[in-house]
Every structure is written in structure tokens, then in C-alpha cells.
Amino acid sequence: MLVIASSLLAQRTGISPKDSVQNLGEVAVKGFETNKKRMQVPASIGILQISDLNRYAPTSLVPSLNSIPGTRMEERSPGSYRLSMRGSLLRSPFGVRNVKVYWNDLPFTDAGGNTYLNLVDLNTLGGIEIIRGPAGSLYGANTGGVVVLRSRLDTLSRDPQGKSNSLSAGITGGSYGLFAEHLAWRGGGKKVQWQITQAHQQSDGYRENSSSRRDVVQGDLLWKTGDRNLISALLLYSDLYYKTPGGLTQKQLDADPRMARPATPATPSASAQHASVRNRSLIAGATDEFCISDSWNLTLSSLFSHTDFRNPFITNYEQRDEKNLSLRTKLVHSGSLGNTPYKWLVGAEWDHGWYRIDSTGNNGGTPDGNLVRDRVNALQAFLFTQVEWEPFRNLLVQAGVSLNHFRYDLERIIGQPMVGKVPIDFNNRWVPRVALLFHPYSTWSMHASVSKGFSPPSIAEVRPSAGGFRTDLQAEYGWSWETGLKLSIIHNRLQVDLTAFRFDLQQAIARRTNSSGSEYFINSGGTRQSGIEAWIEGYPWLNTSSRSFQSLKLWSSITLSDFHFKDYKSGNTDYSGKELTGVPRQQVVTGMDLSFLIHCYLSSTFSYTGRIPLTDANDVYAGSYSLWQFKAGWKGQVGRTRLDVFAGVDNAGNVLYSLGNDLNAFGKRYFNPAPGRNFYAGTVIRL
């Protein structure tokens, strides 16, 4: 049996509250290839299980990811995700940058540093792991962190007894024209298990010019070809379309938060220009896990993706044809030196992207004839190795390092100036990490680590919408120090994860906009980012034999940030000492999950976000806001059919806030208002 497979997640559908408490302390953490219980991992890693993903409407990842301390996900318009970990939002006006994302062992982030996280349907996920802060020793170029997405088939079906065929279907409807449905057909036996998923989601949107639609078809496969070999595969096609209403000024926000960006004497409105995004992507990948012997394991992964991306904006129309090929391999050896166990791994990842980028003017949603075409090749390659050693029974040492190479080749093949190929080559960088875990008792542990982060600019930053090639843009880098305490007491009924960190970043990349609203990026000197993150989860009541109240879970996520610029001058202006743009000083999310009357459940979530600086000068802030969310349902079995009927409300207090601000926006168009009070209801049927 594969060693890797022996540490797989322990989640199952339909588990009782008692089982979920027992499993909480037993979930194996994949991050940094530790494959140990959460208490035994020398890092603070956020974990979202299926029960956490199901706490909210089955249509968005935003509230689930925001329940993890140090993590902030935003949605400027339906379908337009941004993800920030420990301040990495500074350089992400849209999309997911400076964060590496993996689907199981498959590299999901492309060679140019971008991740289309909005292609993924929530109903295909079985769990998420989040590593906050630099993790380049194993995962390559990043300073924000790493997200590992777990397939629901991988989570549910690695069962030596095999699974019989099953069918599930779900439908959800709600405010602002929300409609979503999904189908999943799972089957197989002891050797082969597979799942085919289809999902559709659409919404009219809260604001003018903010409707969205997404269709996803996905296939997952597990194939045990022998006693020592396991192949997993992913095939995903996603067709995503969403309109972009654009940012508003404070005056416009106060007048009508549902309007789209209006016209000015210089530019048309977002509606007149049909501002939107269309993304058609095909992703295919496979992983082969081979147990060479009782002490050696080899994993080989490959992924290919093709994206047709179109983005009519206020002032221009961009079309991109993107192809990416990623290969990743790792060799793991487990052994012992006398009575002290160790694990050593060595591996490599190679990511190559071929991109054709067309830019024209936008004539009411149609490209005009002023074509500029660029060809961009991106190469990211790194070698990595890590040793994990337990010199004493209660001490774990983890040390790793990677050698990173990053290169762009840019060439303008239509339009001016025609200067031939323009290479941008970032010097090879060593990215180390050393971590210690002191674990004297099963109920608590302490950990400390020091690591380096390194993140070159993405394609969208070296070739910005403002035009030209930014060959002078430097990679950002810095050192992170982290220490933490973990508790698991009262038979795992109370879990605490407390972390303090400091990250000193050099050559930080920041966003700017010109008079037309097009963006460009600069190196803004350094930042000093210190913070405290806390996760607390407990069961004050647990009695699974009761017919009235079975369980009550209380949980809280707390993020306190003290992030500032240092040595940052722009022209004659010195921003040193100013708060880091786009990062709230406080973010608190707390909730309650109640199980009662055997089949009924109720979840409530309260979140508070402190005020957010919107400019590097800190002369404009988005105000603090508080949100309430509720979801209630009935889950049971009728004959052979399992039912889950639910209803919920988001933003119950009807608060006016912006979930995704435009930083340093020209014309003071900072705000993208989020939906007011909205309701949803639905059902899931499993046969």
C-alpha cells in the first residue's frame, strides 16, 4: 500500500458530530509534505473540510476562505476573485497572484504567476489547505503563501473496499437572479474509481452590468494499477463569463451603490463599453504515485492548460491565448538513524507558458482595428529538497531549500515599437526554510520557523494594460519569522492555533493607474509586516445520543495586522511609515454550528473587518463593517435517498460595504459595492 495514501484525509459524507470531533485532531496535513496530524506540523496551516465549505451557500468560496486567519478573499464583481495572504493583495488588482495554487499534486498556477481560481466549482472540492507566508522551499516563487485544493473524489473514495455507483444532484436559487445546479455521478470498484461532475451557475448581479454565468464539466479518476501504484487524473472544462461594473467614487457610492461606473467627459461608461471577462479554459492533468519500496516513494505529475481569455475594458479590448505545461516530480525516502526517524525528499518543478496577447481599442464591446500583438514566453523552474528529522522523541526539525529560475521573453510582433525579443531574466535565487516543532505532550506543541520569500512580477505586471514592457520591474523578496502554539485538549473538543509572525519585504510591487484607468506597477521599496493570527474551535456541548440537541460548535478566527511601508519614496513623496494599502488592521470571523432534533442544523457567522487604507498616502480609507450570515437546514434519509434541504441569508444587516476596493485608483474610483441583504435556498439529493 502506498505510504502517501496512508495519510489521506479522514473526511466522509454524512459523518456524525461525534465523528467530526474525533477526526478534527486526526486530519493529516499535506503542507510541506509532512503528512502528519495538525499538532505535529511545524507550521500554522489552515484547513477547510467539507463541513466548513458547506457552512455557506454552495455558490462561492469567499466566506469559507475568509474564515481562515491571515487570509482575505475578495470579489469585486460576481466571479472576479482576489486572494490575499498576509498583505499580498498589494499587487493584485484582480485575479490570484503571488500565491501558488495546487490541485492535489498538480500545479494549478500558470508559468506567468496567475491562477484562475474562479474556474473551480465548489461542489468538486473535498477540502482546502492554506499555508500562509513564504513557502518557496518546496513550492517555488511566492511570498504570499500556498493553497492546496483537494478533489472530492480523492477525499471520499480512497477506500480499500471500493465504492458502488452513486448519483447526487443539487439546485440553489436566490436573490438577484441567482440560480445554480450541479450533478455528480460517481462509480467504480476496488481498483478504479471515477466521478463526472457538471455544474451551472448564473446571477443577474447586484449592480448594473454585473451579471455572471459559469458552466463547468469535470472528470476525476483514481486507478490503482497495482499494489504499489496509484494514478489520479483531472479533466476540467470551464466556460466563465462575468460583467465588470467598475469602481465608484464615494459620491457615486452614496448616491446609488447599484450603478455601474458612469461615463466621464473622457471615457464611456462600463455598460456602454460592455466591460466584461470571458474565460474558456481546458485543464488536463495526471499524477502517478509509485511505491518503489517500503522506504522509497516516487510521484510524477503533469498538467496542461489552454485558456481563451477576452476582456473588453473601458479603454481597451484585450484577448489572450494562453497555453501552459507543468511538470512536477518528488522522490521521498523514509528511514531512521539509529532510533531517530527521518524523511528526505528531493524534487523539481518546471512550468512553461506560451501566450499571445492582443490589445486594441474597445468600440462598444467590439475590438477596433488598432491591433497591438505581443508574444510572451514564460519559464519557471526550480529544484527543491527537504529533510525532516526527529533527533529526540518530542522534537522535529524540518529544513528545506529550493533553487529558482524565472525568465520571460517578450516580443511585439504587430504594432510599435518593434524592438525584437526582449528578455527579462531574474537571477537564480536560493529560497531556504528551517522550522522546529517541540511536542512534549499530545495536547500541545510549539513551533518556530524562518523562511525566505521570492516572487518575480507576473505577466500582467511586466506587460500591464497601460502598455509597454516594464523591463525595470524587480522581483520582490524578504525574510519571514514565525512562531506559534497549538493546543488540542478535552479529547480534541477544544482546538487552539495561535501564531505570531514578522515579514520584511524588499522591492515590494505596488499598483498604479493612469488617467484612463489602465494599470501599471512599480517597486515601492520595502514593507514591514507583523501580525498575530488565532484560530479557536470548541464543542461546549456534545451528546450524539440526545434527541433534542446533539452538538454545539463555537469557533473564531482572529487576524491582527501591523503592516507598514518602509523606505518607500515616489518622486518627492515619502510614504515610509504609512499603513500597507488594502490591508485591514483587524479581521474577526466567529461562528456557531448547531445540530439538533437529529436531522436539523443551524449555522451563523459574524465577521468584522476594520477600516482599509485605499491609497499609499493613507488619505482615503474604506470604513469598517460587520456582517451576519445564517444557514439552516434538514438533513436526513427517505428510503434510500439522502436529502439536504437548506435556506440562508447573507449580509442579514443589509450593510453597505465594498468587498474588493480598487487601490490607488485614478479619479478616486475606489469602491465596488457588494450585494445588500440577500437570500438563497436549495436542496441536494444523493442516490
What is the identity of the amino acid at 319? Q
Of 149-158, 224-233, 480-489, least confident by mean pLDDT is: 149-158
- In the predicted model, is pLDDT for residue 1 greater than 70? no
Reported as a single tens digit per residue, the pLDDT across 571-584 is 788 889 999 999 99
At residue 191, φ and ψ (nearest 5 deg) are -100, -35
- Look-up of cell digits 509597454: 468
- In the predicted model, is pLDDT for residue 679 greater than 50? yes
Count how many residues are written for the chain: 687
- In the predicted model, is pLDDT for residue 11 greater than 60? no
pLDDT at 540: 95
- In contact, 596 and 549? CB cutoff 8 Å: yes
Helix (H) or strand (E) holding 674: none
Residues 157-171, mean pLDDT to the nearest whole number: 70
Higher pLDDT, 488 or 666: 488
Nearest to 212 by CA among 276, 273, 269: 276
- In contact, 527 and 563? CB cutoff 8 Å: yes
Q: What is the DSSP letter of 473?
A: P
Distance (Å, whole) CA 529 – CA 563: 4
Nearest to 662 by CA among 183, 261, 154: 261
- In contact, 258 and 252? CB cutoff 8 Å: no
Across all residues in the chain, what is the average pLDDT?
89
Strands 586-596 and 28-29, sheet pairing = unpaired
- Which CATH number fits the domain 4-686, given the four candidates 3.10.20.30, 2.40.170.20, 3.40.640.10, 3.90.1010.10? 2.40.170.20
Residues 115-125, mean pLDDT to the nearest whole number: 93
pLDDT at 466: 66
* CA 350 and chain centroid, separation: 21
Cα R_g (the chain), whole angstroms: 24
Reported as a single tens digit per residue, the pLDDT across 384-394 is 999 999 998 89
Peptide bond into 69 cis (omega under 30): no
Classified as helix, coil or strand, 265 is coil
Higher pLDDT, 288 or 665: 288
Reported as a single tens digit per residue, the pLDDT across 394-411 is 999 999 999 999 999 999
Reported as a single tens digit per residue, the pLDDT across 581-606 is 999 999 999 999 999 999 999 999 99
Percent over 70 (pLDDT), the chain: 93
Reported as a single tens digit per residue, the pLDDT across 522-578 is 888 888 999 999 999 999 999 988 889 999 999 999 999 999 998 887 778 888 999
Distance (Å, whole) CA 111 – CA 96: 13
Nearest to 589 by CA among 629, 558, 630: 558
Reported as a single tens digit per residue, the pLDDT across 284-309 is 999 999 999 999 999 999 999 999 99
Distance (Å, whole) CA 401 – CA 384: 6
Q: Which three cell numbers stand for residue 76?
A: 469585486
Nearest to 124 by CA among 182, 62, 42, 202: 182
Reported as a single tens digit per residue, the pLDDT across 69-97 is 999 999 988 888 888 888 777 766 666 77
pLDDT at 12: 33
Burial track 458-469 (b if 16+ CB lie within 10 A, e otherwise): bbbbbbbbbeeb
> How many Cβ atoms sit within 10 Å of the Cβ of residue 189?
12
Reported as a single tens digit per residue, the pLDDT across 182-198 is 999 999 888 899 999 99
Q: What is the DSSP letter of 671?
A: B
Instruction: Count helices and strands (H / E) in the chain.
Output: 7, 39
pLDDT at 155: 58
